[in-house]
Structure 1
Amino acid sequence: MSSNLIFPDESFRIRGACFEVYKEKGGGFTEPIYQECLEAELELQGIPFDAQQQFPLLYKGRRLHHTFIPDLVCFDKIIIELKAVPHLTDEHRAQVINYLKATDMKLGLFINFGHHPKVQIERFLNQ
């Protein structure tokens, strides 16, 4: 692995869990199905995660009523956003970037189980 990657070992383990879910289930299911399967796989592989964790949003120092709720946070430092769509859009990508900004976490992984013929994984850094 390249030494300039942030959290390479953790990312490798998460990617492996995603590949396992896709190998087992294939394409065609909805996002909640993949989320449940990935949670089960993360647990089986001993990867620590929190699902649907709420993060507060601020505006000029004031806390907003709305929160950001990423699908998963792994290792207390990597945001995981799941989709099950044929193609990712810039709006999808912006969601992950905004989650990173809102949480001040450094790495986000966008996992698309709806892509054929394999799971699509994109990395995003909070710079």
Structure 2
Amino acid sequence: MTENEISKIVFENGLKVHRKLGVGLFESIYEECLFYELKKIGVEVERQKSLNIQYEELLLENAFKMDLLIENKVVLELKSVESLNNFHAAQLKNYLRLGNYKLGMLINFNSRLFKNGVMRIANGLDKF
């Protein structure tokens, strides 16, 4: 499955979760429900996936935890906030860069219109 195919599946299932639950819940609830929906349709998904980073000779184990990793290709960072900001995008960009992933999706479940809370971020296409 390509990154684009995965992102389509994530969007469709994120929309399903958003329609059923609405806005205003904790991020962990949306994460668990999206994890459930993706597993239910047979997508390989890891929850709270640890990411190690190397700084010179120093290995920092479990430096970060990615919310969801789909098919070992697409990183999902889930939020339930009033609005996304530059820090949220920078966080996901770092996960992509440090983990050498091509595509990430930043999803804010607290957006009234689901599509307005979804941002796709590709690794290496821009600098911050």
| TM-score with structure 1 setting the length | 0.90
Aligned partner of 1:94: which letter? Answer: A
Which residues of structure 2 form unaligned runs of 5+?
A: none
For the aligned residues, what is the CA RMSD? 1.4
Structure 2 residue 18 is the aligned partner of structure 1 residue 22? yes
Mean Cα deviation higher: 77-86 or 39-48: 39-48
Structure 2 residue 33 is the aligned partner of structure 1 residue 37? yes
1:67 aligns with 63
1:98 aligns with 94
Structure 2 residue 123 is the aligned partner of structure 1 residue 122? no
Offset from partner CA, 1:65-115 (integer Å, 9 cap, x none): 551110000011100000001100101111000101110111010011011
Q: Secondary structure at the match of 1:122?
A: strand
- Determine the C-alpha separation between the residues in 2 that align with 1:118 and 1:108: 17
- Determine the C-alpha separation between the residues in 2 that align with 1:108 and 1:84: 17
- Amino-acid identity (%): 32
Greater than 4 Å deviation, 4+ residue runs: none
Residues 50, 65 of structure 1: alpha-carbon distance in 2 compared, 3 angstrom cutoff: closer
1:79 aligns with 75
The size of the alignment, in residue pairs, is 122
Q: Secondary structure at the match of 1:69?
A: strand
Contact 2:3 2:73 in 1 (8 A): no
Offset from partner CA, 1:41-72 (integer Å, 9 cap, x none): 11122221000111111112421255111000
Q: Secondary structure at the match of 2:28?
A: helix
Which residues of structure 1 form unaligned runs of 5+?
A: 1-5
1:54 aligns with 50
1:109 aligns with 105
